[in-house]
Every structure is written in structure tokens, then in C-alpha cells.
Chains A and B, each alone.
Chain A
Amino acid sequence: MALNLIRKLMISSLFCFTAASASAETFVFTAIPDEDETKLVERFKGVADYLSSELDVEVRYIPVKSYAAAVSAFRNNQVQLAWFGGLSGVQARRLVPGSEAIAQGVEDQAFETYFIANTSTGIKPADELSSLEDELRGKTFTFGSKGSTSGRLMPEFYIRDVFGAQPEDFFSRVGFSGNHTRTLRLVEAGTYEVGALNFQVWEKELADGNIDTDAVQVIWTTPAYPDYQWTIRGDVNERFGDGFKQRVTEALLNLDDQKLLESFPRSDFIPASNDDYEPIRKTAEEIGILD
């Protein structure tokens, strides 16, 4: 009797799932979790409200826990638009034929990674990474997320290129902090002696007075490379009507709410194309992150 009841309940609960999965057309977007979540949620809720008023459809932002989750959600068509990093954008566009990079920040054309060190190491800033070889060897080092462009791909590329060694062999301990803010906090606290992070995160935290400059400083800056961009799926017009992609693109390029732009922080959004990110693809293939 009891078993029967439980079985019936389970079956009815399965029906509930199927019912829940059919919902109205909502334009959903996500972003790679590269910074503290509170900041991201605040920023992208603002973007969702803005897009919603510009596009006349319901727009929803969903926070995710990893770069790969953002790529998978985009690939699985559970989100149709995403604010990707250079590498995650390349991964996503490879997996979703027809998808396009439509907008980037002005700063993303020439993005940089800062190598930072805890001041207790005594490492002095340098113009050439090669001149830091002896000081850096055997230190503890943290990247950001495993899938990050500025926090993993580019720093790993330069470590291999300049020191001719895998990061695990060159440093005594290599970690992945998870995001740029974490990298900053871990190196500031001395948990790791050296780290690499997105220069924009550093500059913004510095301007906001959130960095103890007696404890941590920038020791090297990478050459410039292209980074973040808005990428949209190729099939949005079929789902949301003709010209939808164009309207999203225009809405993003016309975004001039200074507070919202500052939260990224970007001075403006400008057009982007898939080809802009070829250098990232080549670098990722070179160090074996992409097949």
C-alpha cells in the first residue's frame, strides 16, 4: 500500500518536470564568473533590464559557477547570448557553428595580464619577464580560473615561452584560484607568492581603494591581446524574429549608461568579429588547451 503510494507520487512528480520545462520565450544570457559574484549579479541584472527595455522581450541573466558552465549553457541553447572571455568565446564559437562575436569593450582590443607578487618576496617590477627568471623560479604561483584568458591562457603562454618550462615544473606550487578577485586576495594575503590576473580587475580594485599596495604589487605586464566579447548564437533570429541579432548588437553598441559601463569596467562597446580572436585560438592550440 505505502509502496504503491510512493510509486504513484514519484510518477506524478516526473510529470511535474515535463510541465515545468515548457516555458515562454525568454532571452537568456550568462557571463563567465570572472569576479566576485555579488558584483557580477548587480552588473548583469542592470544589463538584463537595459536589454529588456530595448528589445521588448523578457531578458534574464543566470549566474554560473564556472567558465565551462557558461560555455556549456551557450552550447546547449539554454542561453543565447554570453559575455565571454577570449578563450571561452573561441571555445563556444567552435562548438556552436553560426555563432558570432558581436561586440567588445574598447579596452578588449588591447587587453593585458598583470603578474603580481607579494612584497615579502622582494621581487621588483621589471620590463622583461626573462629578467625575473631567477627570482620567480621555485615560488608558489596561482592562475585564475582554468578556463580564463587573462588569468590562465596568456600567463601560461608567456611562462612557457620565456622560461621554456611547464608552470608546474618552474614553480614549486601551482594553483587555480577560481577568479581574478580571488587571485588578488590570495597573493595579497601571501597564500601564493605570485599570481596573474586581468589588468582591469586590478585597476578597478586599486581605484576603489581595495588593494593593500604595501602587501602586493604588479611586477610585469604582458603584451596586449584581444579579450572579452559578447557572443550570440546564430539561430536567435528563428526564435525571436527576423533582425533580432541586429537589434541585440545595436542595443549593446548603444549602451551608454556610464554606471553600467563602469561596472564592467569598459569605456564603451564597439563592434567585434570572430576573426578578432584568431590570436587567442592559435595560442590556445599552441599550449594544448584546444585540440
Chain B
Amino acid sequence: MATDRFPIEAGHIMLFARSIGDANPIYHDADAAADTEPGHVIPPPTFVQASAQFTEGYNLRPVIGEPWFGSGKEPTGIKRESSGEGGGGTGFHAEQHYEYHAPVQAGDVLRAVDKPGKSWSREGRRGGTLQFNESITEYYNQDDVLVVTARSVGVQTSRVVE
């Protein structure tokens, strides 16, 4: 997901590390981190996924003042195909791959650039026809150094996965 400005913030790293159940002090304690090999608070390996917080128009974040497809008064606030209406199909994350080229630490400011990926489809055993879409995202730091390459594969099912 292309993102102009993804600040790597220490508090955000702490919340993310808590959410994956990782108590490693390098994710929340600057003094402890100073005694480690990296020497700084660093993000966990999957942290760049949280760039979604800084991606303009990210479709899985409610927009202030606009209807949202999760429940409120009604079970869904908006009718749309990807919410499971109709055939009950759903978009899923099928694969995620990272390459780490250079260190990232709290205080860095990254930008994410999208690269074209492949698309393909096949018949699935559980979810009907499966449509796969690959997306490649390159993360550069404030010195224009490529730090992480992310390759994500999404799959759209034509019915509910049993």
C-alpha cells in the first residue's frame, strides 16, 4: 500500500508488540534496547504492515462521517460485495513475504511505494473459485535507502470458506 509518510514511532511499536504478545524489551524500553546489538528500539519483523494506519484511503479503516460495513444499529452499515453480501465470498490474505535489506528503528520515517504484482485464479476445494492478486511494496527510509520489500498475496473466494 503506497504511503507517503510512515513514521516509525516508539509508542506505536510498543502497542504493536503487545498485540502480538511479544514482551521483548527491545520493542518498548529504550534503555534496555541500548544494550542490544541493534542498540535502539526497533520494530518487530511484521511491523511495516501497520503502515496501513498512515495510508490515505485505506479501505479497512472507517472514514469519519461515512457509513462503515461493520455493525451498528444494523448488522452492517453498508451493502457491498466484499462484505460478504451475495455469494458470501470474502477477501483473505493468502501469503505475506518480507525481505529485510537494512535496519529500521524508532525515529525513522519510511515511505512505501507500490510495484505491480501478478494475478491468477484457480478452483479451490473449500471456497469455490479463488482469485489471487499479488502486490509488492517497497519501503524506503528518510535517506532513500530501501529497507524492506513486502510481497502480499490476497485471495478472493466466491463463497464462504468452510
A binds B: no
